[in-house]
Amino acid sequence: MAHDPHAPDAGEAPHHPEEHEHPNWGTYKWVALWLTLITIFEVWLYYIPSFVASKLFIPTLLSMSALKFAIVVMFYMHLKYDHTIFRRLFVGPLIIAILTLVSLLFLFGHLAIRIAS
Amino acid sequence: MHSHHRLRGPAIATLTALTALTLAACTGSAYPNTTFAPHSEFARAIDALWNRLLLLGVIVFVLVEGILLYVILRFRRREGQENPAHVHGNTTLEILWTAIPAVILVFIAVPTVRTIFATQARSTPNALQVEVTGHQWWWEFRYPQYGVVTANELYLPAGRTVNFALKTADVIHAFWIPRLAGKRDLVANRTNYIWFTPDSVTADSVWNGTCNEYCGTSHANMRFRVFTVQPSEFERWAAHQKGPAVYGVAPPAPPPDTGKKGKGARAAAPAPPPAPVDSGFAFSRELMPRYAVPTTPVPTDLSFPDGLTGDPARGRDIYSRSACIGCHTITGNPMSAGVIGPNLTHIASRTSIAGALYPNDARHLALWIKNARKMKPGSIMNTLGKGEYDPIMKLTVTAGGLDDQQIADIVAYLLSLK
Amino acid sequence: MSATAQPHAHHHYTTTGLEHRKIAIWAFIGSECMLFASLISTYLIYKGRSVVGPFPHESWLNPATGQTMKPILNIPVTSQSTFVLLMSSLAMVLALAAVENKGKPVREGAGWWERSLSSSKLWLFMTALLGTTFLGYQAYEFTSFVREGLTIRTNLFGSSFFTLTGFHGAHVTAGVLWLLTLLAIDFKRGLGPKDALLVDIAALYWHFVDVVWIAIFTLVYLIR
Amino acid sequence: MATTAPPQSPPGAYSASEGGIWSWLTTVDHKKIGQLYLYTALAFFVIGGIEAEIIRWQLRAPDQHFVTAEQFNQIFTMHGTTMVFLAIMPLSAAFFNFLIPLQIGARDVAFPRLNAFSYWVYLFGGLWITIPILFGKAPDGGWFGYAPLTTRTWSPGVNIDFWVTGLQILGISSLAAAFNFITTIINMRAPGMSLMRMPMFTWMSFVVQFLLVLAFPVITIALVFLLFDRFFGTNFYNVTAGADPLLWQHLFWIFGHPEVYILVLPAFGLVSEVLPTYSKKPLFGYPVMVYSGILIGFLGFGVWAHHMFAVGMGPIADTMFALTTMLIAIPTGVKIFNWIFTMWGGAIRYTTAMLFGMALVGMFTIGGISGVMHSSPPADLQQTDTYFIVAHFHYVLYGGSIMGIFAGIYHYFPKITGRLMNEPLGKWHFWLNLIGFNLTFFPMHFSGMLGMPRRIYTYGAGQGWEGFNLASTIGALILVVSTSIFLVNFFVSRSRGPVAGNNPWDAATLEWSIPSPPPEYNFATIPTVTSRYPLWDLTHPERTGEIAHSGPKAGEVPDDAGPMHQETERKTAKELGIPMPFPTIKPLIVAAGIVIMFSGLIFGKVLLFGGAIITVVFLYDWLTSPLE
Ligand code: HEA
Ligand code: HEA
Ligand code: CUA
Ligand SMILES: [Cu+2]
């Protein structure tokens, strides 16, 4: 990386971008392994009819998907190591996107709130 | 300070004008479609909410504009004044003007939420059911409890709750009778509901209704009429509308059953009874207030010879052989079972045609049949008059077209359908 | 973005000390979140609303033949393509690491694997290759769906499925082209630490496309 | 013209003669691009205004036939589309371009060529969507194009095709610009210019860029669906295939509501520059102004369905969206009060810019109050799709955005052109504008609540709407007069106004510390900022005494920076050794290629592929050629 000696924004806590080296093969291989294992586990669950029918199926799959998502973003995209500004640029929109998606599903009746009537 | 007067003049004038207008708006007379003179519990609930909104809105308005004007006038720069106070903020004040609006909003939110749930609750089970179907650009009304199908004119018994089921045949429309209720959209693949109870005192009243969601070329021309009548009158009206067309002569030569089964065909299976004499109840045209009489001018490039009279029997024949039957139903005329256009079974009992755009009389009917697309831009009904230019097909109607005499005959037939 | 552009960009003073283009790519990725959220929402909203088959997870009646047909999604095949795309991300980080460490001596006595880790060309190529493989899987999937009677016009499922996965596929395609450009530059003049930004932004884009697929795989393929 | 100063040219004024038209076509200078935006957007504002006048002339009385139904529907659709996408957004963009780099002490934007590209895409896209009206084929689905009316089944003509493709093209422009400004603001601030020292216009623009970046992808997708439906036979809005027409509405308004804040926040920013300057006081409650802007932007993503209270979402959704909508009144109110208290105790100069700024505060409040009236769903059932709504949104759009933009134009005209606008004419413009505006739009509150639907090309007599419509039409005619005065003032002052000097208004921010118009490099020496009002630190230290001052830390300062100062000398970039980006025609060609590509959807595959090839080839060429 092109290391720039200048400190960041005056209003923010001093933090040196790219100070941390990016991780290397030692980390990456574990990340890849985990991603593979989770994916295999997900697909395996898909083939267990009783589990698919259970209430746990969707939450389990969603959380595993989210986990994979987070792993890639943190390690492969280095968000864990990079400048906070990148984290804000990504996480802010991501939150709005997820909230929008969830509200839309509510509005179209795929997730239902029932109020005793 | 001369500037005071410069600014105060218009402000006072505006306020005076405002007050005058507000007062005028509250009486329904000059403003037949006003939302400020509600005539159902639903419209009243909204009006109550509105009054609260208006009151709080005016308070905020007066407060904000008052301080603003004061500041503008008071702190005008005076000669040599270079250094006003240099405040950068004031936490107490800022908390104050966060908190006060929040409190005002609570006073809006609470009745709002109450009204939402009250007005969207389920309607009473014995309500009058009306199915409304929006079409480009007219309204179809069905009364499933009475077996009545009609178009563009709605009869409601005063004092009885009516529950509308709203659907559309094509694009989105919105159903609105400003004096009686808020509006609701008609959306494909959904059924929306709206219900209210027209006040008993409204018997023998007429209300205007409109389509409020932009729905294409003639959105402006998608109006309708609502008659609130005595319950007994309503029953008579419904009983009559349910029956076949009054011009109930047996068809000249019953067609061989080709397998086309329309509603009309079934109704006509046994030869229709001779025309009943009682023409039921229909809202008297003499009682029609001015605002319920259409004023739409006819297109200048369209005319129909005055004094041409038609023969209903001949008209019936022509009608039954023409393109009309592809789109319209006349119960009692087995040939006429189309469902694309309005049901014409009792068209003569209506006061207006074409989405309450024109009065229902011989002249307007004739012009309409001659060139509906000039009468109502974009209309799905083809131009039928011989020699007429069809502005959508972009051609002049020739051979198959109807001549003026034929049109007059059809009009005579239609006007006999009381 | 190409290597010859702005050769001395990093001499510029910036407020945060970060590169413009890296900020821009993250802003772009944030924006893409909304893009894919809209696509995925639509897919989910229309799930189960199609009036005719084929359906993703339910068997359906073929009106032409009167036969009952199997659900159309092919989980085993898609699991493989998912794995391929995940591995491409691994290759991508290795490519970036190779570029960043270009010029650093490889440890004395390193094996072939360790030595291969310093080859940016190898890993750029691998990433592009895996990406292309993923696209191959997708082409296979699309054509077999069409054979089984599902096109983008068939029903709501077809429209929303092909548009969503098609948009993703288009992103992968753009990424592969981007990677190939980098590879070409690497061959032409070699990519070194000073070019790390170029590879970095391509990598961020690539991983994002991967991450979107992680969501799609679960939401579209696995969840019934 | 009443100007007395001899028409001498301020040094370095931009004129088309300098380098000729070619220099405009190839420019990558943010200030020139800003002016291109300004002139183009003003032209579109006049076009949108003429359309508005046609609407008003048709509706002056019942049962009129000045235009046909088909023409009217095209005209109101294009009026809304033009005003929103081709007038106000680009007027804001003109200010983003011209001001942001100057306000943060930068020499250009982060990606100058991308900036030029954004402008050309906007220009070509704007022409693309506007020209069909000359052939009677303009879009006619309303500015929010509700499906299924806009699908092929119900709109078989090419009208909607132009709309779908046109908006898609304009989206590219807005998105490209937004990434550019986000990067510029984050990364190109002068040393010491921390986020909480940025001028309020830059802050509000910053928020707007995020709204753009998050809102536009959603309409992009909604439009992609519509485009696929219309051209490739997909089913997204095909009701016979089971589609839900509300999908379009939700996607559109998820974009559409943030869009209205995209339209108004830049004006809020401009007014936040204007009010302190002419009150000779710092902005009241700067941090709160920042946070409220951010909050408005964030909440703006959670209220969209308040445009859909009549579609039958059910009581729970109605309640949720009502409450979120009402919440927005709070941060907006904070802004209003902070503006008022900025003036409180000040020494107010009634310049034209100030008058417009004060008018924004007063008029926007009216629109905001009617907005809160809509936010109550049952009440909205009587209001929605009537002229009451038309009144609301013109009070916020005209009374908010346009008033603010006029304030901005009068305020920044000297910086842009080096000359002052004529004040007496400005006052005429202002007063006629204020009167005409209220006369046009206030009566719409009444016609709406008295039952008049919107988007009707005609209405019957005797409905009680005649007087209000006539008043509106008269008001609209007054607006023509007042706008014409403005245009005359604007164009005459450009060449003949009195020379302005660096800082004619005694303002506080960096853009006023350099010559007017600024030299191509903006700052010969990048200033080091030590407080929120760097120029007042020099000229009126007493005004900034109370706020925190601090210099940048060691190592934060680039080599070419110096202490806060004013620049009067005007050298060329070459003399100063400042590298400037090369002018280039490529962004223009790529933009043209994109529009040609889209035109292929309507006019044939040759254009589609031709355009694609042009785009790719010149994009490659652009990316591989050095910037400076
Ligand atoms: C600049 C653009 C802009 C802005 C800023 C706003 C601001 C607001 N809008 Fe508006 N709106 C539009 C542009 C805008 N709107 C447009 C174009 C449409 C119509 C689209 C179409 O259909 O074509 C529309 C339509 C629209 C609707 C849909 C109506 C309908 O179609 O039925 C609603 C409903 O809730 C609404 C609400 C609001 C609210 C609550 C605000 C709030 O943000 C306002 C907040 C401000 C204030 C309230 C004033 C200041 C505050 C105080 C002084 C504090 C004290 C005040 C109180 C406690 C009340 N707007
Ligand atoms: C964003 C900003 C904006 C602005 C500034 C305006 C400005 C105006 N609008 Fe606009 N309007 C909208 C946005 C805007 N509008 C939108 C979004 C809609 C909804 C569309 C829809 O429903 O789809 C709408 C709809 C709308 C309607 C409702 C149409 C309908 O529902 O049928 C009406 C009706 O009166 C109207 C009127 C006006 C008028 C009179 C002005 C005036 O203020 C215009 C004043 C401007 C001028 C007068 C400039 C012209 C100058 C000249 C003509 C000078 C001539 C000189 C030379 C040529 C040298 N508008
Ligand atoms: Cu139907 Cu408008
Ligand atoms: Cu809104």
Q: What ipTM goes with this model?
A: 0.91
Atom 16 of ligand 2: nearest residue by CA position:
D80
Question: How confident is residue D1, by pLDDT bands cut at 50, 70 and 90?
Answer: very low
Q: Which residues of D touch B10 (CB under 8 A)?
A: 435
Q: Tell me the per-residue pLDDT of D567-576, one tens digit each, with 9 for 90 and over.
A: 888 888 878 8
Which of these is catalytic: D137, D152, D427, D454?
D454
CA distance D192 to chain A (A): 6
Q: Tell me the per-residue pLDDT of B243-268, one tens digit each, with 9 for 90 and over.
A: 887 664 444 444 444 444 444 434 44
pLDDT (0 to 100) of residue C195: 87
CA distance C65 to D74: 47
pLDDT (0 to 100) of residue D139: 94
B166: left (phi over 0), alpha (psi -120 to 50) or beta: beta
pLDDT (0 to 100) of residue A115: 45
- Mean pLDDT, chain C, rounded, equals 87
- Mean pLDDT, chain D, rounded, equals 91
pLDDT (0 to 100) of residue B313: 85
Half-sphere exposure of D78 (CA within 13 A, CB side): 34
pLDDT (0 to 100) of residue B7: 52
- State the average pLDDT over residues B123-136: 91
pLDDT (0 to 100) of residue B25: 55
Look up D259 and say whether it is catalytic. yes
Question: How confident is residue D10, by pLDDT bands cut at 50, 70 and 90?
Answer: low
pLDDT (0 to 100) of residue C14: 82
Q: What angle do CA D619, D215, D375 make, to 5 degrees?
A: 160
Q: Tell me the per-residue pLDDT of C153-196, one tens digit each, with 9 for 90 and over.
A: 989 999 999 999 999 999 999 999 999 999 999 888 888 888 88
Atom 1 of ligand 3: nearest residue by CA position:
B173
pLDDT (0 to 100) of residue D303: 95
Asked if residue B375 lies in contact with residue B299, where contact means CB atoms within 8 angstroms, the answer is yes
Look up D173 and say whether it is catalytic. yes
Q: Is the pLDDT of residue D16 over 60?
A: no
Three-state DSSP string of C43-103? HHHHCCCCCCCCCCCCCEECCCCCCEECCCCCHHHHHHHHHHHHHHHHHHHHHHHHHHCCC
CA distance C108 to D421: 75
Nearest to C96 by CA among C126, C53, C54: C126
Atom 38 of ligand 2: nearest residue by CA position:
D52
pLDDT (0 to 100) of residue D75: 96
**Residue written as token pair 């190898």:** C122
Stretch (H or E) spanning B162: strand B162-168
Which of these is catalytic: D155, D184, D272, D516?
D272
Q: Tell me the per-residue pLDDT of A5-55, one tens digit each, with 9 for 90 and over.
A: 333 333 333 334 444 567 777 788 888 899 999 999 999 999 888 888 888
Calculate how far, in angstroms, residue B214's C-alpha sits from the geometric centre of ligand 3.
5
CA distance B11 to chain D (A): 11
pLDDT (0 to 100) of residue D177: 95
pLDDT (0 to 100) of residue D13: 47
Q: Rg of chain A's alpha carbons, rounded to an integer? A: 20
pLDDT (0 to 100) of residue D369: 95
Q: Which residues of A touch D323 (CB under 8 A)?
A: none
Interface A:D, Cβ pairs < 8 A: 51
Classified as helix, coil or strand, D623 is helix
Question: How confident is residue B22, by pLDDT bands cut at 50, 70 and 90?
Answer: low
Which residues form the pocket of ligand 1, taking CB atoms under 6 Å from any ligand atom? B 60, 64, 101, 104-105; D 144, 260, 263-264, 306-307, 309, 325, 328-329, 332-333, 336, 365, 368-369, 371-372, 374-375, 380, 383-384, 389, 392-393, 396-397, 400-401
Nearest to D420 by CA among D430, D408, D431, D410: D410
pLDDT (0 to 100) of residue A13: 37
Asked if residue B360 lies in contact with residue B348, where contact means CB atoms within 8 angstroms, the answer is yes
**The two three-digit tokens of residue C101, written as one number:** 């460490």
Residue C114 has phi, psi (to 5 degrees) of: -60, -40
Kindly give, in sequence order, each residue whose CB lies less than 8 Å from that of residue D543, ignoring residues fewer than 6 positions away: B83, B86, D280, D281, D282, D508, D533, D536
Calculate how far, in angstroms, residue D89's C-alpha sits from the geometric centre of ligand 2.
15
CA distance D215 to D236: 20
Look up D412 and say whether it is catalytic. no
Asked whether the beta carbons of residue D377 and residue B117 sit closer than 8 angstroms, the reply is no
Sign of the torsion angle spanned by Cα atoms D99, D102, D108, D111: negative
Exposed, middle or buried by CB within 10 Å (0-12, 13-18, 19+), for D78? buried
Of the candidates A10, A89, A115, which has its C-beta nearest D194's C-beta? A10
Minimum mean pLDDT range among C39-48, C67-76, D100-109:
C67-76
Q: Tell me the per-residue pLDDT of B293-336, one tens digit each, with 9 for 90 and over.
A: 898 999 888 888 888 888 888 888 888 888 888 888 888 888 88
Go through chain C and tell me how many residues it has. Answer: 224
Look up D137 and say whether it is catalytic. no
Interface C:D, Cβ pairs < 8 A: 130
- State the average pLDDT over residues D340-347: 90
Stretch (H or E) spanning D563: strand D561-563
CA distance A54 to chain D (A): 28
Question: How confident is residue C107, by pLDDT bands cut at 50, 70 and 90?
Answer: confident
List the alpha helices (DSSP H) in chain C: 20-46, 75-100, 112-116, 120-148, 156-189, 196-216
CA distance C172 to C131: 7
**The two three-digit tokens of residue B352, written as one number:** 């207006």
pLDDT (0 to 100) of residue D97: 95
Report the predicted TM-score, pTM, of the whole model to 2 decimal places.
Answer: 0.92
One-letter amino acid identity for A1?
Answer: M
Calculate how far, in angstroms, residue D568's C-alpha sits from the geometric centre of ligand 2.
42
Asked if residue A39 lies in contact with residue C185, where contact means CB atoms within 8 angstroms, the answer is no
Asked whether the beta carbons of residue D386 and residue B218 sit closer than 8 angstroms, the reply is no
Q: Tell me the per-residue pLDDT of D276-300, one tens digit each, with 9 for 90 and over.
A: 999 988 899 999 999 999 999 999 9
Give the best-scoring range by mean pLDDT among B118-127, C137-146, D187-196, D521-530: C137-146
Please give the residue that has the higher pLDDT: either D414 or B16: D414
pLDDT (0 to 100) of residue B348: 85
Q: Which residues of D touch B102 (CB under 8 A)?
A: 330
Look up D261 and say whether it is catalytic. yes
Q: Tell me the per-residue pLDDT of A52-92, one tens digit each, with 9 for 90 and over.
A: 888 888 899 999 999 999 999 998 888 888 888 899 999 99
pLDDT (0 to 100) of residue D560: 76
Question: How confident is residue D248, by pLDDT bands cut at 50, 70 and 90?
Answer: very high
Residue B94 has phi, psi (to 5 degrees) of: -65, -35
Q: Which residues of B touch D372 (CB under 8 A)?
A: 53, 57, 105, 108
For the CA atoms of B129, D247, D376, B125, the dihedral, rounded to the nearest 10 degrees, stands at 20
Calculate how far, in angstroms, residue D452's C-alpha sits from the geometric centre of ligand 3.
13
Of the candidates A1, A57, A90, which has its C-beta nearest C29's C-beta? A90
Q: Tell me the per-residue pLDDT of B49-95, one tens digit each, with 9 for 90 and over.
A: 999 999 999 999 999 999 999 999 988 887 776 677 777 778 888 88
CA distance D47 to D64: 22
Q: Residue A85's closest chain D neighbor by CA?
A: D186
**The two three-digit tokens of residue D369, written as one number:** 């109050």
The closest ligand to the CA of D400 turns out to be: 1
Q: What angle do CA C197, C202, C207 make, to 5 degrees?
A: 120
Suggest the residue from B36, B177, B189, B211 to mutate for an interface test with chain D (most D CBs closer than 10 A). Answer: B189
Minimum mean pLDDT range among C10-14, D68-72, D218-222, D226-230:
C10-14
Ligand 2 atom closest to the Cα of residue D50 is: 53
**The two three-digit tokens of residue D219, written as one number:** 């309409």
Would you call the peptide bond into D517 cis, given omega within 30 degrees of 0 as the criterion? yes
Q: What is the DSSP pairing of strand D561-563 with strand D526-528?
A: parallel
Measured between CB atoms, does A93 come within 8 Å of chain C? yes
* Edge-to-edge strand ranges of the sheet holding B138-143: B148-151, B138-143, B128-135, B162-168, B192-196
Q: Tell me the per-residue pLDDT of D361-408, one tens digit each, with 9 for 90 and over.
A: 999 999 999 999 999 999 999 999 999 999 999 999 999 999 999 999
Asked if residue D259 lies in contact with residue D397, where contact means CB atoms within 8 angstroms, the answer is no
Half-sphere exposure of D554 (CA within 13 A, CB side): 0
Residue B277 has phi, psi (to 5 degrees) of: -85, -40
pLDDT (0 to 100) of residue A21: 65
Neighbours of chain A (3+ CB pairs under 8 A): C, D
Of the candidates C20, C50, C153, which has its C-beta nearest D183's C-beta? C20
CA distance D207 to D205: 5
Look up D385 and say whether it is catalytic. no
